[in-house]
């Protein structure tokens, strides 16, 4: 007899013994009181401050967004009722795709049920649409990009993270007439560093390559209308495909790509992960539409977001908390050990009502376990002070390493 459950239990024991068993925090966000949430555990329910949400601007609770969702559900009902091809394309989908194309100054855009699906479906289709192509992938690319590249079964070369010299070395060895896709991200979500987008575009031009940029952690947050880092850096027209999410800064759910009309039509026609699934709920699409439109104008909110992140980094530096060298809104703090990292997170939550999830392997390399803090415009000076003084206390009590 095969004991299937024992096999599963053994697999879980392995994860536990490495200190990377994941425990989900059971939360009820309090609409209108961002970043506060009710936390449920076996001791009961209490209010905590959330420090690790990807709802970077609190858009998920903005009345303009929630009202649009209520209006959509009242107008057209809960679900799309089909795949995009069979009865599931609502007018909301058509409007949002037009809005997203405009956000990135591209000819067209295409929605997916998530950013993960967008990356997987698009990269796997690109590999098939470009026979004989080579995909050059940054070594820190997201799991969804890696999955799409693998599924496409093209040749793949991995370049050292943000290392354009290494990228050029690899490009140089490929025939100029061979199709090449350079796949990378703008803001890397665990370190908060940013790709040299313009320099990568220079190489793409020189070596006749196609550029695929995941702007998931930048859309809504950077650029004059929230189009991301390529927009901020004035190189949108040199990026062939921008991939984004509606689930992070836009505060709702869903993913998308934007690019040329031909590329979008080809992915629409070939990508399994786009074709064979029910279209996003019009309620989500209506909310995302309101959010994208709102953020196109919300320069003050974007500036406030950057100010909060800069201030938090500065306050932590002054206390010797080892904040990692991020150049974005992401504030990672190095712990460097999975068990200690979990312990810090547990202490913050259990004793101080501060919620920040530990980030362990395989999300980040072993030895670089960290807390990943995401301050938002809704985190006040008091929130910042309480966090920093608490971290100081926890660092002392656990005798953790300080910054030099």
Ligand X SMILES: *Cc1c(COP(=O)(O)O)cnc(C)c1O
Binding positions for ligand X, rule: CB under 6 A: 114-116, 119, 142, 144, 185, 189, 214, 216-217, 245, 247, 255
Structure tokens at 329: 């809104």
Which one is catalytic: 248, 296, 311, 399?
248
Q: Which is nearer to ligand X, 214 or 369 (CB)?
A: 214
Q: Quick count: other Cβ atoms within 10 Å of Cβ 392? A: 16
Q: Considering the complex, what minimum distance in angstroms separates the CB of residue 217 from ligand X? A: 6
User: In terms of C-beta density within 10 A (0-12 exposed, 13-18 middle, 19 or more buried), how is residue 208 classed?
Assistant: middle
User: In terms of C-beta density within 10 A (0-12 exposed, 13-18 middle, 19 or more buried), how is residue 152 classed?
Assistant: buried
Strand 26-29 and strand 241-245: the pairing is unpaired
Distance CA 135, CA 98 (A): 29
Q: Quick count: other Cβ atoms within 10 Å of Cβ 50? A: 23
Q: Going along 260-330, which residue ranges are E strands?
A: none
Q: Which is nearer to ligand X, 27 or 339 (CB)?
A: 27
Q: Considering the complex, what minimum distance in angstroms separates the CB of residue 255 from ligand X? A: 5
User: In terms of C-beta density within 10 A (0-12 exposed, 13-18 middle, 19 or more buried), how is residue 155 classed?
Assistant: middle
Q: What are phi and psi of 92, to 5 degrees?
A: -60, -40
Structure tokens at 382: 């008091």
SS3 of 109, please?
A: strand
Strand 370-373 and strand 358-359: the pairing is antiparallel
Q: Which is nearer to ligand X, 114 or 281 (CB)?
A: 114
Mark whether 178 is an active-site residue: no
What is the three-state SS of 44-85? EEEEEEECCCCCCCCHHHCHHHHHHHHHHHHHHCCCCCCEHH
The alpha carbon of residue 27 and the mean position of all alpha carbons in its chain are separated, in whole angstroms, by 20
Alpha-carbon dihedral sign for residues 189, 195, 197, 200: negative
Distance CA 311, CA 343 (A): 26
User: In the chain, what's the furthest Cα-to-Cα distance?
Assistant: 64
As annotated, the active-site residues are: 248
């Amino acid at each position: 007899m095969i004991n299937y459950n024992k096999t599963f239990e053994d697999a879980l024991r392995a994860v536990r013994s490495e200190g990377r068993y994941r425990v989900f925090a059971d939360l009820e966000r309090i609409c209108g009181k961002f970043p506060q949430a009710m936390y449920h555990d076996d001791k009961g329910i209490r209010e905590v401050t959330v420090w690790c949400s990807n709802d970077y601007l609190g858009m998920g609770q903005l009345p303009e967004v929630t009202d649009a969702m209520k209006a959509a559900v009242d107008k057209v009902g809960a679900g799309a009722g089909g795949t995009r091809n069979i009865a599931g394309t609502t007018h909301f989908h058509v409007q949002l795709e037009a809005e997203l194309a405009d956000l990135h100054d591209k000819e067209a855009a295409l929605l997916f049920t998530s950013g993960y699906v967008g990356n997987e479906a698009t990269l796997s289709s690109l590999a098939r649409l470009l026979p004989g192509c080579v995909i050059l992938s940054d070594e820190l690319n997201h799991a969804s990009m890696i999955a799409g590249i693998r599924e496409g079964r093209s040749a793949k070369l991995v370049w050292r993270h943000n290392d354009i010299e290494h990228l050029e070395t690899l490009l140089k060895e490929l025939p100029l007439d061979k199709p090449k896709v350079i796949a990378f991200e703008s803001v890397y979500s665990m370190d908060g560093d940013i790709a040299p987008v313009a320099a990568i575009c220079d190489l793409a031009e020189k070596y006749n390559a196609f550029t695929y940029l995941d702007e998931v952690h930048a859309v809504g947050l950077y650029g004059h209308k929230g189009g991301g880092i390529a927009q901020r850096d004035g190189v949108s027209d040199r990026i062939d495909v921008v991939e984004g999410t509606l689930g992070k800064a836009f505060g709702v759910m869903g993913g998308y790509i934007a690019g040329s009309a031909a590329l979008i039509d080809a992915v629409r026609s070939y990508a399994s992960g786009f074709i064979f699934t029910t279209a996003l709920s019009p309620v989500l699409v209506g909310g995302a539409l309101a959010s994208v439109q709102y953020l196109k104008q919300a320069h003050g909110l974007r500036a406030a977001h950057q100010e909060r992140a800069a201030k938090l980094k500065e306050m932590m530096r002054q206390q010797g908390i080892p904040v990692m060298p991020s150049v974005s809104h992401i504030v990672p703090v190095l712990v460097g050990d999975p068990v200690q990292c979990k312990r810090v997170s547990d202490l913050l939550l259990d004793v101080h009502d501060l919620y920040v999830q530990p980030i362990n392997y395989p999300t980040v390399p072993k030895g670089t376990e960290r807390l990943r803090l995401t301050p938002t415009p809704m985190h006040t000076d008091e929130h910042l002070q309480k966090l920093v003084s608490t971290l100081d206390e926890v660092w002392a009590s656990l005798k953790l390493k300080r910054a030099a």
